[in-house]
Amino acid sequence: MKKVFALVDCNNFYVSCERLFRPALNGQPVVVLSNNDGCVIARSNEAKALGIPMGEPFFKIRAFARRQNVHVLSSNYALYGDLSGRVMDVLHQMEAGVEVYSIDEAFLSLPAARGWDRLSYVAEIRERIRKHVGIPVSIGIGPTKTLAKIAGRVAKKEGRYQGVFDLADNGQVDAVLQQTGVNDVWGIGRRFTEKLNRRGIRNAFELKQANEAWVRNHLTVVGARIVMELNGISCLPLEKIPSSKKSIVTSRSFGQPVTALDDLRDAVITFASRAAVKLREQMLEAGALHVFLATNDFGAPAASYANGQTVTMAHSTSNTPLLISMALQCLKSLYRPGYRYQKAGVMLSGLVSQGYRQQSLFFPTTEENRSLMTALDRINSKWGQDTIQYGMTGMQKPWEARQSHRSQAYTTDWHDLPVVNAS
């Protein structure tokens, strides 16, 4: 049976999550900042209307935000992750074909047959999410994922459609594409936009009609697929089962520049430990570990240094002490004194599932090791991250990120449960 795609997209997701627990923020300009309170990563419609751009460094708009009474929040990923799960639960209850695409977006696969009212159906999905979770969503429908994305933009931007728009067979496709900038097409970023503009291609309709060989040549197969999708030929299937991860990264910008090797060691130990926890949560083991560090990209070139080092392991592992010791070896050879480090991280790759690994004659997995890791994960998951941590990590963490505007973990921590006062 022929299918169409629907894209369900949470509106201003992080802001909507915050508003759920602080209704006083409704109707107010609100922004949510990235880790370390660095950049603006979510904006309410009121904040967008004030002209605050996505990704703007916060220090540049701090004064403006104060003058305009913009509510400023640090990001609270525990809260957003929990609410995202609830939205996805509603979708799974209603539909068999669901691809969770990101924290705030999912694709659905719906029958393409005429004779049923798709729009009413997705309006019902939208209403149920609003009622059961409280998050507003927009839903776009199209014959391909790329067109569903574009339909979703229309649903979100044009109030008259009330959050749902169907581009699958309504004869308006080309008119909508003509009003869609090429930079607003899914998969066309800054570089591709520049290339296309130089060739005189400015909107999605012009891209749809672009010369295939030229696109293939300058935008690789990625661009060629986008053009096909704009033409209604589906190249990107619905992926119901998430493919298993190929790499796991834990990295942070520091709250203040770090110069001492000891502090870097402390940060790297923490990153390696957290990456190892993520690894075990997904029942994986890593075959390689990469450590990287960098000074501020925006500083003077003479004062800048960035480097990374990878070690490949003879045997894949998820053992925290082992991963820490390898990470510290890397750090030791990467470290140069005299620089003000701004960021570091640990990446695990060569991931294989726990059962997959061949047992080594010389390095048998000891059961004690695995059960120690399991016990540690249980305690930290129950009592909070870092309840038990490795002895080498210091208690003072000058590198830790700033979070001056943090909201509470309303749904994931007993201490932060909202209190309702009846009078």
Partner DNA sequence: TCTGGGGTCCTAGGACCC
Name the residues that contact DNA, by CB under 7 A.
34-36, 38-39, 41, 55, 57, 59, 62, 101-105, 149, 185-193, 220-222, 243, 245-253, 257, 278, 296, 298-299, 310, 312, 342-343, 345, 401
CB of 373 vs DNA, minimal distance in Å: 18
Q: How far apart are CA 105 and CA 186, in angstroms?
A: 13
Q: How far apart are CA 351 and CA 273, in angstroms?
A: 16
Nearer to DNA, 118 or 252 (CB): 252
CB of 46 vs DNA, minimal distance in Å: 21
**CA dist 176 to 154, 284, 300, 404, Å?**
8, 45, 45, 42
Nearer to DNA, 41 or 322 (CB): 41
- Angle at Cα 53 formed by Cα 51 and Cα 55, nearest 5°? 160
CB of 304 vs DNA, minimal distance in Å: 12
CB of 68 vs DNA, minimal distance in Å: 18
**CA dist 269 to 114, 339, 399, Å?**
58, 20, 12
Residue whose C-alpha is closest to residue 173's, from 160, 188, 154, 197: 154
Is 396 strand, coil or helix?
A: coil
Nearer to DNA, 121 or 342 (CB): 342
Nearer to DNA, 12 or 121 (CB): 12
Q: How far apart are CA 214 and CA 208, in angstroms?
A: 13
Q: How far apart are CA 234 and CA 46, in angstroms?
A: 36
Amino acid (1-letter code) at residue 410: Y
Nearer to DNA, 121 or 186 (CB): 186
**Tokens 């429908």 found at:** 141
Per-residue DSSP letters for 326-350? HHHHHHHHH--TT--EEEEEEEEES
Nearer to DNA, 117 or 281 (CB): 281
Nearer to DNA, 80 or 121 (CB): 80
CB of 195 vs DNA, minimal distance in Å: 8
Q: How far apart are CA 74 and CA 37, in angstroms?
A: 6
CB of 91 vs DNA, minimal distance in Å: 15
Nearer to DNA, 93 or 220 (CB): 220
Residue whose C-alpha is closest to residue 15's, from 64, 82, 71, 90: 71
Q: Which letter does DSSP use for residue 418 in this model?
A: -
107 Cβ contact list (under 8 Å, min separation 6): 5, 6, 7, 8, 98, 99, 101, 145, 148, 238
CB of 309 vs DNA, minimal distance in Å: 9
Q: Which letter does DSSP use for residue 34 in this model?
A: P
Nearer to DNA, 165 or 186 (CB): 186
Write out the H or E segment, with its range, that includes residue 281: helix 261-281
CB of 62 vs DNA, minimal distance in Å: 7
Q: How far apart are CA 291 and CA 327, in angstroms?
A: 6
Nearer to DNA, 302 or 419 (CB): 302
CB of 231 vs DNA, minimal distance in Å: 18
Nearer to DNA, 32 or 125 (CB): 32
CB of 276 vs DNA, minimal distance in Å: 12
CB of 98 vs DNA, minimal distance in Å: 16
**CA dist 242 to 286, 309, 355, Å?**
19, 29, 19
- Angle at Cα 307 formed by Cα 303 and Cα 308, nearest 5°? 160
